[in-house]
Amino acid sequence: MSACCETPAFVPPVAPPDATLRTVVLIGPPNSGKSTLFNRLTGLRQKVANFPGVTVEQRMGLMAGVGREDLTLIDLPGIYSLDPFSEDARVSIDVLRGEMPGTPKPDAVLLVMDSLHLTRQLMLAAPVLALGLPTLVLLNMSDLMAERGGKVDALKLARELGAPVAQVSAVQGDGMDAIPLFLNQQSERAGAKPLSLPVLGNAASAHAWAAQVSRKTGYRAPLSVEGTRKIDNVLLHRFWGPLLFLVVVVAVFEVVFSIGQPLSDGLGDVLARMGELIRPLLPAGWLQSLVLDGAWKGISSVLVFLPQILLLFLFIGILEDSGYLSRAALIADRVMRTTGLNGKAFIPLLSGYACAVPAIMATRVIENKRDRFATILVTPFMTCSARLPVYMLLIAAFIPNVAYLHGFLGLRTLVMLGLYLAGFVGAMTTAWLLKSSILKSNDAPFILELPQYRMPTLRSLGLRLVDRARVFLKQAGTIILCVTLALWVLAHLPVMHSASGEISAPQLADSVIGRLGHFIEPAIAPLGFNWKIGIGLLSSVLAREVMVSTMGTLYGADPGTQALSLHAALNHDMTLGGALALMIFFAFAMQCTSTMAVVRREMNSWKWPAAQFLYMLVLAWVAAFVVNHLTMMFLG
């Protein structure tokens, strides 16, 4: 039975001076169930994960879950104290004090604590309550608390803290009534004086105070469960642990490719057929060409990769929500430290296999600034899902489908693995270079909390995928649509007048885009790239997958047999050396404006992403040059 009926009878002695309530913040230590509560209160999508401090962005939502659509709820990153030890804590402090630009000063605070570890969690209560904002203390996980024989007197605790206290279970939805009750009281009350709490100078006095409070409230910690330790006996076993770790990583990629490929092919067929259905509806001529050969073909050549990308995010979501990712960080720490990074960098780097943008935001869990900067700078080397379309197109066009070891290992798979390995080695080498030069740091402790294993919920995984799909489709509908349209227009300008006065499009080589491609050709010819590839490289600076749609538009392939004819066109136009060089170029080059923007935001300067872009470009050029010439020497 849950303790939801013990909702506060104690009225808060604090209220905002002007009694108008607009903004409420949600704060609490990592793993206190804050994100689940946020989901329940707002009904908005939000990442719920098990890695300490994974809520790296502040999120907002209207409190529709408790019938208060007029209130904005801000979800803050999980923090242990108001000591600005990490970026997360700094963000939270700024928001709470109303010093965060663009975020309104909060009018009320919901302080969430895991009642299973109340003594420790209370250490955050004193500094938060001392801010003088009206605060409701929520003792979360009341269901588990009751189940495992823990006890706390909420009324006594409310008296000690001078703030109302409610016992809730965000997972079960118990005790939620306390929240609207508290909020309604805030709108009516005004002018009360805050209860004075002891000023806590350091962590030791904060702990002494927290221990004293929890003693006075008759707190008894619940019993620990054995389940997590039994699972860890296997997953962190000296021999089985690393082996299972490798199996998990390989299995993720295997499933993404073996299930994702047929799904992609199927989607490609459907999109091509849809294009053919539209064709008769448009008058033949430039409009039909613009819509079908320009826009539709460009977008669908990128859309087909949605299944693979979603599968990759699904697996990373399962690993993260279950709590395994923290164990993976523990196993990876030994390897990561040889480069100068620590195990926590493993989480952003693994997410980097899906997309560098969320991965770079996830680096906020790394407390040490230099470690964090080094991780941000190497994350774009990880083979993100946007590189997949380019690799798959080139592999399908140039690498024969030969199988080794009785069909267990294909040449195409080997090339793909080689490209993933190239990215990983690039990241590790760069990390080592950075950590032994400009980003050297001595005092960077590795402190990792291992949360209990949880079953990932379908709801949380589903919300994650919807979120990713939305971002991907938005990208396809904006950047990629614009680029393909612009390319189509540039490929059809300047308008030619024939002797008889008829208007026609120029030859591709004479068009604006053709001349631009020829202009940069000398710089890329040593890599085995012609001017069309040059245009592809220029346009893919926006996003890597644009390369594929650009090739599609430039080679003007028929939508019905698009993949086939694009392969044939590329095969006719490029050498094997050039194709391999192009793949290695994409492995190293930083072709993504979204990543550059997020690096600028996280490192607060344009200098870093500019240096990163140049470094990766030079590396990509040199590697492509070497690969092209080696191929010519040995295979040409």
Partner 1 sequence: MSVLSELKVGESGVLVSLDLSESVQNHLMHMGFVPDALVTSLRRAPAGDPTVYGVDGMEIALRRETAAAIIMRVATSDEIEVNEDNYLPERIEATR
Nearer to partner 1 by Cβ, of 308 and 326: the residue is: 326
Nearer to partner 1 by Cβ, of 78 and 528: the residue is: 78
Nearer to partner 1 by Cβ, of 1 and 633: the residue is: 1
Nearer to partner 1 by Cβ, of 114 and 602: the residue is: 114
Least CB distance from residue 343 to partner 1, whole Å?
8
Q: What is the DSSP letter of 457?
A: P
3-state secondary structure of 11: coil
Cα separation of 575 and 104, whole Å? 58
Least CB distance from residue 372 to partner 1, whole Å?
15
Cα separation of 556 and 564, whole Å? 12
Least CB distance from residue 439 to partner 1, whole Å?
18
Nearer to partner 1 by Cβ, of 123 and 139: the residue is: 123
Least CB distance from residue 5 to partner 1, whole Å?
20
Cα separation of 440 and 438, whole Å? 6
Least CB distance from residue 451 to partner 1, whole Å?
8
Pair 53, 76: CB distance under 8 Å: no
Where is 110: in which H helix or E strand? strand 108-114
Pair 491, 511: CB distance under 8 Å: yes
CA geometry: angle 73, 78, 83, nearest 5 deg: 115
Nearer to partner 1 by Cβ, of 332 and 390: the residue is: 332
Question: Which residue type sits at 557?
Answer: A
Give the list of residues 6+ apart from residue 294 with CB closer than 8 angstroms, or none: 484, 485, 487, 488, 553
C-alpha pair distances (Å), 425 with each of 76, 119, 153, 588, 609? 35, 44, 55, 10, 20
Nearer to partner 1 by Cβ, of 221 and 533: the residue is: 221
Least CB distance from residue 297 to partner 1, whole Å?
50
Cα separation of 384 and 38, whole Å? 30
Nearer to partner 1 by Cβ, of 73 and 89: the residue is: 89
Least CB distance from residue 120 to partner 1, whole Å?
5
Pair 144, 114: CB distance under 8 Å: no
Which residues bind to partner 1, rule: CB under 8 A? 80-81, 83, 85, 116-117, 119-120, 123-124, 148-149, 202-204, 206-207, 221, 223-224, 226, 228-229, 232, 236-239, 241-242, 330-331, 333-335, 337, 342-343, 367, 443, 445-450
Least CB distance from residue 632 to partner 1, whole Å?
43
Nearer to partner 1 by Cβ, of 81 and 540: the residue is: 81
Cα separation of 254 and 473, whole Å? 25
Q: What's CA 314's distance to the chain center, in Å?
A: 12
φ, ψ dihedrals at 74, nearest 5°: -110, 125
List the one residue out of 550, 570, 510 whose CA is nearest residue 293.
550
Cβ-based neighbour number of residue 121 at 10 Å: 23
Cα separation of 461 and 288, whole Å? 40
Least CB distance from residue 83 to partner 1, whole Å?
5
Four-residue CA torsion sign, 381, 386, 391, 394: negative
Least CB distance from residue 221 to partner 1, whole Å?
6
φ, ψ dihedrals at 450, nearest 5°: -100, 105
Nearer to partner 1 by Cβ, of 117 and 279: the residue is: 117
Provide the token pair at 187.
């709108």
Question: Which residue type sits at 92?
Answer: S
Nearer to partner 1 by Cβ, of 122 and 533: the residue is: 122
Cα separation of 579 and 573, whole Å? 10
Least CB distance from residue 524 to partner 1, whole Å?
44
C-alpha pair distances (Å), 212 with each of 157, 287, 357? 11, 76, 44
- Count CA atoms closer than 13 A to 150's CA, side-chain side: 29
Least CB distance from residue 223 to partner 1, whole Å?
5
Nearer to partner 1 by Cβ, of 124 and 168: the residue is: 124
Nearer to partner 1 by Cβ, of 167 and 342: the residue is: 342
Nearer to partner 1 by Cβ, of 332 and 582: the residue is: 332
C-alpha pair distances (Å), 358 with each of 155, 347, 351, 616? 42, 11, 7, 20
3-state secondary structure of 248: helix
Least CB distance from residue 337 to partner 1, whole Å?
8
Cα separation of 170 and 35, whole Å? 9
Bridge partners, residue 59, by sequence: 75
Provide the token pair at 543.
């996003």
